[in-house]
A = this chain, B = another copy of it.
Amino acid sequence: MDLSIRKFTFPLPGLKERKRRAQRAAMPPETLMFLGEKKLESSRVTVFTYNQEECTERVIESADDLMSALPENLMIWLNIDGIHDTELIEKTGAVFGLHTLLLEDILDTDLRPKTEVYEDKLFLTAKMLSLEEESGKVIAEQVSFVLGKNFLITFQEGLLGDVFERVRERLSKGKGKLRRTKPDYLLYELFDSIIDNYFIIIEKTGDGLELVEQKILASPGKSALKEIHAFKSELMELRKLVWPLREIISRLERDEDNFFEEHNRIYIRDIYDHIFQAIETVEMYRDMLSNLQDLYHSSLSNRMNEIMKVLTIITTIFIPLSFISGVYGMNFRHMPELEWTLGYPAVLFVMSAIGIFMLYIFHRKKWL
């Protein structure tokens, strides 16, 4: 049942990954190098070309076909899966005129969510979260967006395509504003679907917290302690993912370089509200966790107090009585009490009296 609480885990960037980064330090700048874990066998490039009337989806075999596949007068959405293929990234960069630093950022999968403007392109990167149903593990994957005048490129490594699937479908079917507007609105819908997925993870955390609370209120044990510690690490991770998003959106909202059309700015505000809600929920969970920890400690202290009381009551009642029995167990030849006919009942009576008096004292001190 313990396992059912933490159905997911964010692994801290482990030793292997960190080694990669230190390795990076040994390379000159301006060398493209994939800093992540290769998940796909081969990379896959998909191009959507669309306007209000039509929409075509094509899979491109080789990076060299890229140039010829891009029509001038249509909107383009280029989706690249498998960023471990640095050559592909480099060629894509050449076709669209992307700065080397931008390409480096795409390849560094340990990057903090951020947005950057490179000349006339808007670069935006964030972590996409999804929940692997069977194992309950959270899969975090970095997605990068490059928004130009009439194109949007999305880069990712894995196969978490389902998060974007819905948008892809609606684009094909021509529903909503998607086909009527420039790729800035497409960016909004893709980004919004990423944020929406955050809530699924956040809610799982919330469910777990409630279970931990019930557990602690029932009995504060060692397993509750480990739960709390694990939740702390998880919330720390979630927080690290969610906070920078706010900054990103603030920058987009100002939009000093006019990447977004006037009438689409209100949608950025909408994402901002969602992100703010996510941040607030995460912060609330942190507060709750801290309260739970206080509760845990207080319960533990309380319990210790109870134990000590029992120990003290038993000890302070019986030790004096044992002493008395010890006295009359001594083998002195001359102990007059031992000869008395009523010596034994008298001693028993005295002992009972002492015991009852002690109980009365404890009762008055409210220890009982």
Contact = CB atoms under 8 A, between A and B. Distances in A.
Nearest to A287: B236
Contact of A118 (B12, B266, B367): B266
Given A22-B200, A99-B266, A319-B314, A28 B170 contact: yes
A18 B206 contact: yes
B199 A25 contact: yes
Contacts of A175: 28
Contacts of A330: 325, 328-329, 331, 338, 344, 347
Contacts of A305: 300, 303-304, 307
B339 A344 contact: no
B329 A334 contact: no
Contact of A297 (B19, B301, B338): B301
Given A329-B325, A366-B219, A343 B338 contact: no
A7 interface: no
B233 A288 contact: yes
Contact of A166 (B28, B206, B270, B327): B28
A166 B28 CA distance: 8
A203 B158 CA distance: 26
A97 interface: no
A347 B322 contact: no
A308 interface: yes
Given A29-B189, A333-B339, A316 B311 contact: yes
26 contacts: A21-B203, A29-B176, A112-B273, A118-B266, A236-B291, A293-B298, A300-B302, A303-B305, A304-B304, A305-B307, A307-B309, A307-B312, A308-B308, A314-B315, A314-B316, A314-B319, A314-B320, A315-B315, A318-B322, A319-B319, A321-B326, A326-B326, A327-B348, A328-B331, A332-B344, A333-B338
Interface of A: 12-13, 15, 18-19, 21-22, 24-26, 28-30, 99, 101, 105, 111-112, 114, 116, 118, 166, 170, 175-177, 189, 192-193, 196-197, 199-200, 203, 206-207, 210, 217, 219, 221-222, 225-226, 228-229, 232-233, 236, 240, 266-267, 269-270, 273, 276-277, 280, 284, 287-288, 291, 293-305, 307-312, 314-316, 318-323, 325-335, 337-344, 347-348, 351, 366-367
